[in-house]
Amino acid sequence: KAGVTQTPRYLIKTRGQQVTLSCSPISGHRSVSWYQQTPGQGLQFLFEYFSETQRNKGNFPGRFSGRQFSNSRSEMNVSTLELGDSALYLCASSKDINTGELFFGEGSRLTVL
Amino acid sequence: AQKVTQAQTEISVVEKEDVTLDCVYETRDTTYYLFWYKQPPSGELVFLIRRNSFDEQNEISGRYSWNFQKSTSSFNFTITASQVVDSAVYFCAHTGTASKLTFGTGTRLQVTL
């Protein structure tokens, strides 16, 4: 059974640019959530999608957005990148919402210069 | 607001020693779930266990065991006879009724020969 796949794994951007990260959940999983991991702030919840609808959102500025497609694949976008956006972005999928039993991908490591 | 505290930043043990990772949580939810995840150097978070607030029964899975005590708001994790492969960062997490997890800051476990 294939796990959660995130692309790209590594990327480097400069301030002011935008980035799109992709996540393919485990087959059959309908819920996708995103987390940001930094040394200073730790793991922080970004948002959660279920059946193409955003169900929860964390405390991040509007520059962070996401969406989910009908096949449950999800993308997140960060616009007008700042140095502080450098982080490991982790995507997780679960069968349903409200279970908390999340299966994580290996993450996309974003470096903003 | 929920809060998860992992006071131990880093623990070093010699292989075959037992080690306990502490987790203390704060919540206003009457129903909630607690989790432990393992993050190896590759980056992905690996689900270890989920415990709901109504089930205070301790759990053992191989060399892993968990002690949940609502009276002290603790959910501690013990590895018996540690092995080098156990070296990782371990995160305790909490959620109420959604999949939005609140993570602790993690405990880095280093197991040496």
Task: Name which of B44, B47, B97 is nearest A101 (Cβ-Cβ).
Answer: B47
Among residues B3, B6, B67, the alpha carbon closest in space to that of B29 is found at B3
Q: Which two tokens stand for residue A84?
A: 């502080």
Query: What confidence score (pLDDT) does residue A21 get?
Result: 98
Task: Name which of A3, A100, A105 is nearest B101 (Cβ-Cβ).
Answer: A100
CA distances from A65 to A15, A71, A74, A113, B10 (A): 17, 19, 11, 21, 34
What's the start-to-end Cα distance of chain B, in Å?
A: 41
Query: What confidence score (pLDDT) does residue B34 get?
Result: 93
Among residues A112, A37, A53, the alpha carbon closest in space to that of A80 is found at A112
Q: How far is CA A43 from the centre of its chain?
A: 12
> Mean pLDDT, chain A, as a whole number?
93
Answer yes or no: are the C-beta atoms of B53 and B32 closer than 8 Å.
yes
HSE (side-chain half, CA atoms, 13 Å) at B41: 5
pLDDT, tens only, A41-88:
999 999 999 999 999 899 999 999 999 999 999 999 999 999 999 999
Q: How confident is the model at residue B42 (pLDDT cuts 50, 70, 90)?
A: confident
A24 at B interface, C-beta within 8 A:
no
Residues of chain A in contact with residue B105, where contact means CB-CB under 8 angstroms, are 42
B4 at A interface, C-beta within 8 A:
no
